[in-house]
Amino acid sequence: MKVLLVGSGGREHALAWKLRQSPRITDLFCAPGNPGIAPLADLVPIGVDEIQNLADFASELRVDLTVVGPELPLTLGIVDEFAQRGLPIFGPNRRAAELEGSKVFAKEFMKRHSIPTGGFTVVHGAEEARAAARRFGFPVVLKADGLAAGKGVLIPKTKEELDEALAVFFEERRFGTAGERVVVEEHLEGEEVSFMALSDGERVLPLATSKDYKRFQDFDEGPNTGGMGAHSPSGVLSSKGITEVFDRVVRPTVAGLAEEDRPYVGILYAGMMMTAEGPRVLEFNARLGDPEAQPLLMRLETDLLPVLASGAAGRFDVQRLQFKKEAAACVVLASRGYPQKPVKGEPITGIEEAAQRTGVEIFHAGTSRDKQGRLVSAGGRVLNVCATGPQLRDALKLAYLAAGQVHWPSKVMRCDVGRRILEKNAA
């Protein structure tokens, strides 16, 4: 099969790594890709938002399946364009992807279908937001309605922090049109966890559990990011909890979208807070989480390619996905200044040595080659250092050992990924 993978980050590198293992693959193309993906796929210089050009490429090369990594092309309607041309593609169409593309739509959808989530109010200006914050009390959560690369969430704890946050949304307009409407919602207490599943429009195949770490600094301090680390299993959801999430969140979401004439084909991601009252959905994404995808794909035993191909055709060819019993962990290496203004262009060393460790895979997220051909940092999140081990403790230890071997002047990382889960489960 000829496969086109759309995207350029760590999630897409992990997808390329997994897809390349399939005995059914003949050619793998990635648009636009990154230096880490280059040994696995032919890189195509087409941006993820160039929908027409991507469809032209898939048509000209008679690609058998296109797999979409990031959210932007989904919300721009890449699936609709491909479907109109009769090109097989795995992902939700534009109407279904609105579940991620609009926080307002997602919250109102959950309300319509009795999917558990926190209380919320939609506001259009600072005074409305202040009134809503007074009702909910501090801390309070503010979310940009549109896509903001995982950074459009602010959680002020005081009136002063609220004023600063409102200035970001409504005066600085840091999130542009994505922040024209803002969701103000109650702050939920509990342990955050991710749950993902594949859908062919009717049937749903759950993935293994995972957990990511969104705050920039240790102890969940600092600004929200796209994710600074992850591991699978989550260490949070019990078998009973998994059943509850599947029955109360995942199934009703797929059924509700179908009922609203938004049939959902693709990857459904539910980010949740496990509260004393059970799961409460914080957000939906229309694609694999990043960096959760990396440890999940390292654990996945099932050949991913035929599953995605059959899902794109409207009917999965397997009853369930098989995962290795071992754990997997991911530590994100970022550049100083992320998520606002990361330092870029610094040479990276130590990757080859770190990757030689048994059980370690290093996925590129924000790298490029300079004029001398050296690998340099080119984004906020630069590398994902991932490892497997018999238990979560082993996987985390190995990932951190390998992460310590990789260097560039502005490298930063969280040093506590998984720590609280290990301490909690050891108690």
Is-contact 35 367, C-beta < 8 A?
Answer: yes
What is the band of 106 on the pLDDT scale with cuts at 50, 70, 90? very high
The verdict on 160 and 130 lying in the same domain is yes
The residue range of the domain holding 75 is 2-93
Predicted model pTM: 0.93
pLDDT band at 255 (very low <50, low <70, confident <90, very high): very high
At 398, the pLDDT band (50, 70, 90 cuts) reads: very high
CATH number at residue 223: 3.30.470.20
Whether the CB-CB separation of 3 and 90 falls below 8 Å is answered with no
Asked if residues 165 and 173 have their Cβ atoms less than 8 Å apart, the reply is: no
Q: What is the pLDDT of residues 266-307, one digit of tens each?
A: 999 999 999 999 999 999 999 999 999 999 999 999 999 999
Mean pLDDT computed over every residue of the chain: 95
pLDDT tens sequence across 352-390: 999 999 999 999 999 999 999 999 999 999 999 999 999
What is the CATH classification number for the domain harbouring 89? 3.40.50.20
145 shares its domain with 84? no
> For residue 9, what is the DSSP state?
S
With cut-offs at 50, 70 and 90, classify the pLDDT of residue 150. Answer: low
- pLDDT tens across 175-201, in order? 888 778 999 999 999 988 989 999 999
Angle between helices 419-426 and 392-403 (to 10 degrees): 150
Peptide bond into 390 cis (omega under 30): no
- How many domains are contained in the chain? 4
Contact in structure between 228 and 414 (CB atoms under 8 Å): yes
Q: Is residue 262 part of a domain?
A: yes
DSSP class of residue 177 equals: G
Q: Which of 186, 218, 235 is the last residue of a domain?
A: 186
* Residue 319 maps to a domain: no
Distances (CA, A) of 303 to 268, 310, 323: 19, 12, 11
| Residue type present at position 18 | K
336 and 405 assigned to the same domain: yes
Q: Pick the last residue of a domain from 78, 93, 108.
A: 93
- Note whether residue 113 is domain-resident: no
In this structure, the answer to whether residues 164 and 223 fall within a common structural domain is: no
Q: Position 366: which residue type?
A: G
Same domain? For 199 and 280 the reply is: yes
